[in-house]
Amino acid sequence: MDFEAHLSTLAELETFDPVVFKGDGSVPQSVCDFVLALSLVFNDLKDLLDIHLVLNDPKPSGLRPYTKQFGAINGIDHHIFRLVGGILHELTRLIKNSHEVTDHLFFQRLVNKLPVTAREDWATLSAVAQGEQKPGLLGKSLAIIRNKVIFHYDPGVIGKGCIHHFANAEEPGRRAFVSRGINMATSRFYFADAASTGTLPTILGPEAADSLPGALVEITGRVNTALHALVLGFVSERGGAFRGNYDVA
* Closest of 175, 242, 164 to residue 202, by C-alpha: 164
Residue 71 included in any domain: yes
Check pLDDT > 70 for residue 63: no
Residue 180 CB neighbours (<10 A): 8
How does pLDDT run across 100-124, given as a tens digit for each residue? 999 999 999 999 999 999 999 999 9
Residue 32 included in any domain: yes
* Closest of 156, 27, 40, 48 to residue 104, by C-alpha: 27
Yes or no: say if 11 and 232 are a contact pair by the CB < 8 Å rule. Answer: no
Residue 59 CB neighbours (<10 A): 8
Residue 173 included in any domain: no
Quote the pTM value.
0.89
Residue 202 included in any domain: no
Residue 96 included in any domain: yes
Residue 163 included in any domain: no
How does pLDDT run across 180-231, given as a tens digit for each residue? 999 999 999 999 999 988 888 877 777 777 788 888 889 999 999 999 999 9
Residue 184 included in any domain: no
Q: How many domains does the chain have?
A: 1
Residue 209 included in any domain: no
Domain span at 39: 3-147+219-237
Q: Is 246 exposed, middle or buried (0-12, 13-18, 19+ CB in 10 A)?
A: exposed
